[in-house]
Amino acid sequence: MANLYRMLPSVDALLGDLLAEARYRSLPRAFIRDLVNDFMALCREEIKSGVITHETELEQPIFRKKLEAYLKTHTRPHFRRVINATGVVIHTNLGRSILNTRAAEAVQQACLHYSNLEFSLDTGKRGSRYSHVEDLLCRITGAEAGLVVNNNASAVLIILDTLAKGKEVVVSRGQLVEIGGSFRIPDVMAKSGAYLREVGATNRTHVRDYEGAINEQTGALLKVHTSNYRIIGFHKEVSLGELAGMGARHNIPVIEDMGSGNFFDFPAHGYHFMPEPTVQQVVRDGVSVVSFSGDKLLGGPQSGIIVGKKQYIDRIKKNPLNRAIRIDKMTLAALESTLRLYLDPEVAMREVPTLRMITAKSQDLKKAALRLKNKIQKNVRSELELSIFPAQSRVGGGAFPEQDLPTFVVGINSPELTCQELKDRLLSTDPPVIGRIENDLFCLDPRTMDNPEFALVCRALDQALETQS
């Protein structure tokens, strides 16, 4: 072991070697010295713990290759593009919805140039940042007023804080949901200073349950869209229409947390998914205030959109919390562009990637899978067994839970690697490719990929397969 330690080159010698190369000279000197030091510490640790056991592992070409790989992973951006080959369209861990190109262009304009963010070009005086999207939101949803905040979690928080602080909020037991990332309705309620008044049973809640709970302490009736799970069997929920009627009779606002906002009437366009209400429908049913995410089904930027009756929206706008959760100009630019696409649902379906991917037809996905398979066959150097078989994609993002979307995937079998090994290796290729394992094969689902990405997948496969020893 002492010998092994002695074989390690000095940091100065290594640095000298590295700095002979332009690509390392362009990095900050102190940074690269730190990295080399960290790498050497790692090597000493590996000798100590018996990971490195033989002198050959410390010889020049092997050692140098290992150092370069270490420097590569630590100098490239940590936050990177990946290929989503999972078939999960709104993938919470892979950035949820991707933006349409117009929105991306608008973001670029907004951040490279000055803008009329809070400036009225009509009066030459101070304007409101919300003015850019409020009219569009009202036109699309039919609501009287609207505003946008950082995300839907903050939207729910500010709604409760404004309308129900210190009062009771009546919620069905079946709707006390937790979504990913520790957002739980009871916890958000506590944070807002409203008191949770649970009614009904887990599987069934009736009008009389709500009626029985309403008293002079009641601040609001809340409906939460159970967007990431489904109760099946002996089940009853009170409809939003019924709640709205009750709210009107007692002069209490009715709030809905829709989770995944949706403007697109899927059944009307021939997509018979499980029922998922549209925001337009919720507004028509008489909700006082409804909130939803901008980057789930809507396919826009991360944001929390609130629309509803003017009397309530005006109060929310004046809440000082609003400043703490306001959206920035890049979000605003992306959101306005995305909303404009929804003025014509056909255009939205073509141009909003989230909608396009969800509505992709399985015969088209079969053709795409075939193109991908052929491309891999032609371009990837290693021997691979490729197949195409029917599978299911998912909407994700807590929308349409349990809704299967029929697709065709390319299954890959490498004679050298297990499917899990291949999956792991593709995490460190450039770009990384995230797929899934099905039928003991590593699978690529074309639903969430576009054609130019097929070439990137081939490159990544080459990288993943060539590193095998």
**Residues engaged in binding ligand PLP (CB under 6 A):** 151-153, 156, 177, 179, 183, 224-225, 227, 257, 259-260, 293, 304, 398
Least separation, in Å, of the C-beta of 256 and ligand PLP? 9
Q: Residue 183 or residue 195: which is nearer to ligand PLP going by CB?
A: 183
Least separation, in Å, of the C-beta of 180 and ligand PLP? 8
Least separation, in Å, of the C-beta of 181 and ligand PLP? 7
Q: Residue 200 or residue 261: which is nearer to ligand PLP going by CB?
A: 261
Is beta strand 404-413 parallel, antiparallel or unpaired with respect to 441-444?
Answer: antiparallel
The enclosing H or E element of 106 equals helix 101-112
Least separation, in Å, of the C-beta of 399 and ligand PLP? 8
Q: Residue 304 or residue 308: which is nearer to ligand PLP going by CB?
A: 304
DSSP secondary structure letter of residue 214: -
Q: Residue 86 or residue 303: which is nearer to ligand PLP going by CB?
A: 303
- Residues 57, 59, 64, CA angle at the centre, nearest 5°? 95
Least separation, in Å, of the C-beta of 231 and ligand PLP? 15
Q: Residue 90 or residue 410: which is nearer to ligand PLP going by CB?
A: 90
The enclosing H or E element of 299 equals none
Spacing of C-alpha 143 from chain mean position: 26
- SS3 of 151, please? coil
Least separation, in Å, of the C-beta of 445 and ligand PLP? 23
Q: How far apart are CA 83 and CA 47, in angstroms?
A: 36
- Cβ 413 vs Cβ 443: under 8 Å: no
- Cβ 8 vs Cβ 36: under 8 Å: no
Q: Residue 285 or residue 295: which is nearer to ligand PLP going by CB?
A: 295
- CA neighbor of 148 nearest in space, from 123, 165, 129: 129
Q: List CB contacts of 45: < 8 A, sequence separation 6 or more.
A: none
- Cβ 99 vs Cβ 353: under 8 Å: yes
- SS3 of 223, please? strand
- Cβ 413 vs Cβ 390: under 8 Å: no
Least separation, in Å, of the C-beta of 259 and ligand PLP? 2
Spacing of C-alpha 122 from chain mean position: 37
Is beta strand 145-149 parallel, antiparallel or unpaired with respect to 88-90?
Answer: unpaired
Least separation, in Å, of the C-beta of 300 and ligand PLP? 11
- Cβ 442 vs Cβ 435: under 8 Å: yes
The amino acid at 72: K
Least separation, in Å, of the C-beta of 35 and ligand PLP? 35
Q: Residue 257 or residue 453: which is nearer to ligand PLP going by CB?
A: 257
Q: Which residue is nearest to ligand PLP (CB)?
A: 259
What are the tokens at 42? Answer: 């790692």
- Cβ 183 vs Cβ 217: under 8 Å: no
Q: Residue 253 or residue 259: which is nearer to ligand PLP going by CB?
A: 259
**Other beta carbons within 10 Å of 317:** 17
Q: Residue 259 or residue 299: which is nearer to ligand PLP going by CB?
A: 259
Q: Residue 190 or residue 455: which is nearer to ligand PLP going by CB?
A: 190
Phi, psi for residue 183 in degrees, rounded to 5: -90, 115
Least separation, in Å, of the C-beta of 176 and ligand PLP? 11
Q: Residue 42 or residue 330: which is nearer to ligand PLP going by CB?
A: 330
Least separation, in Å, of the C-beta of 395 and ligand PLP? 12
Spacing of C-alpha 455 from chain mean position: 24
Residues pairing with 179 in the sheet: 183
